[in-house]
Amino acid sequence: MSQFSSSESSQLTSNATHRGVPSRCWCGHKITTYTSTTDENPYRRFYRCVQGVKKQKEKHLFCWVDEAHLEEIRMVDKKHNKLVEDVNNIRKMMMENVEVQKKMVEDMNTKMNEKLNEIIEQELMVAKNGVEKSSMKTLLLVTVVASIAWLCGKVF
C-alpha cells in the first residue's frame, strides 16, 4: 500500500460502470490499493492503477475500497440467493424424479406379481391334471387287475 499524495484525489469520484472489487484498470494495468490523504476522505482506501496514480489528469479506473467491498458483498449475496434457488429447483426435480421412479417400480412389482400368479395358476392346473391322469391310470390298473382276478376265479 502506498500513499496517494495529491489533492487531486478529491476530484475523483467512484466509477459507475465498474462493479465489485476491480482487478485491472481499463488501461490494462493492474489495480493496487492506495490510501487517500485528502481532507474529505482522510485515510480512506481506494483502488487505482499505477498509471492513474502517476498521471492523475488521465482518466483511469477509480473506486473506494469500502464501496467496492459493499458491492462485492451484494453481488455475492445475489449469487448466493441464486444458488439457493438453483439447489431448491434441483431438489424439487430430483424429488419428482424419485416419485416417477417409485411409481415405475410399483407398476413393475404389480405386473410381476400378476405374471407370477398366472404362472403359479398354470403350474397348479398342470399338476392337477397330472394327478387326475395318474388317478385315472390307477383306476384303470385296478379295473384290469380285478378283471384278471375275476377271470382267474372263473377259470380255476
Give the residue at shortest CB distance from Zn ion.
Answer: 25
CB of residue 47 vs Zn ion: minimum separation in angstroms? Answer: 10
Binding site for Zn ion (CB under 5 A): 25, 27, 29, 49, 51-52, 60
48's enclosing H/E stretch is strand 45-49
Q: What is the DSSP letter of 8?
A: G
Record the cell numbers describing residue 120, joined without a space: 403359479
Q: Which is nearer to Zn ion, 58 or 106 (CB)?
A: 58
Cβ-contact 31, 23 below 8 angstroms:
yes
Give 24's strand partners.
Answer: 30
Minimum Å distance from CB 23 to Zn ion?
12
In the bound complex, what is the minimum distance in angstroms from residue 69's beta carbon to Zn ion? 20
Alpha helix segments (H runs only) across the chain: 50-54, 65-155
**Is the CB of 8 or the CB of 114 nearer to Zn ion?**
8
Specify the pairing of strand 45-49 against strand 63-64. antiparallel
Q: In terms of CB distance, is 32 or 41 closer to Zn ion?
A: 32
Name the minimum Å distance from CB 99 to Zn ion: 56
Q: Which is nearer to Zn ion, 28 or 86 (CB)?
A: 28
For Zn ion, the closer CB: 28 or 42: 28
Eight-state DSSP code of residue 4: E
Least Cβ distance, residue 55 to Zn ion (angstroms): 9
Give the list of residues 6+ apart from residue 23 with CB closer than 8 angstroms, or none.
30, 31
